[in-house]
Chain A
Amino acid sequence: DAGVIQSPRHEVTEMGQEVTLRCKPISGHDYLFWYRQTMMRGLELLIYFNNNVPIDDSGMPEDRFSAKMPNASFSTLKIQPSEPRDSAVYFCATQDGGKTLHFGNGTRLTVT
């Protein structure tokens, strides 16, 4: 299994631009989580899905952030418009209903 696949690995964009981060979960995993990591705030849970349905989005910081999971093999996290304070590493993680979260390698976002 290739594990959780995130793309791109690095993204540099200018303030005000739209950013889309992508995640391909491990096949058969029906839970998907998006986390954000910064030096100041550590690892923060943004949102999670079960069977493609958003269950808890209480960690999404603002309306500029949105996440979708159109099918079991793909999820996106979109920031529109992006701001410098959104610079962070964004992780996607998936779980098969057991107790183990499998993380991707993250997308490092820099907004200038």
Chain B
Amino acid sequence: NAGVTQTPKFQVLKTGQSMTLQCAQDMNHEYMSWYRQDPGMGLRLIHYSVGAGITDQGEVPNGYNVSRSTTEDFPLRLLSAAPSQTSVYFCASSYSLAGGKETQYFGPGTRLLVL
């Protein structure tokens, strides 16, 4: 099992550009989520999904879109990048719908710099 994979590892964008951060898991997990980590901060939830076709907003959803067309993939889209979105992005997945009670497995992260 590859676990949770994320691409790219690092990306530089100019303000206003769009891009998609990819996340995939091969563990047949129903629950997937996206977090961002900023310096001196904990991880903050952006969006999550409890299964294919179902997504919802987390704590900091503004500026991000998600979709879940398959169980395996959960891409995060930045429609118009802003410097405030400079961060490290982590994707996570777990078996059950109750994402808090089950161990969440994290990907290695995508480091994004918006100029």
Q: Do A and B bind each other?
A: no
* Contacts from A to B (Cβ < 8 Å): none
* Contacts from B to A (Cβ < 8 Å): none
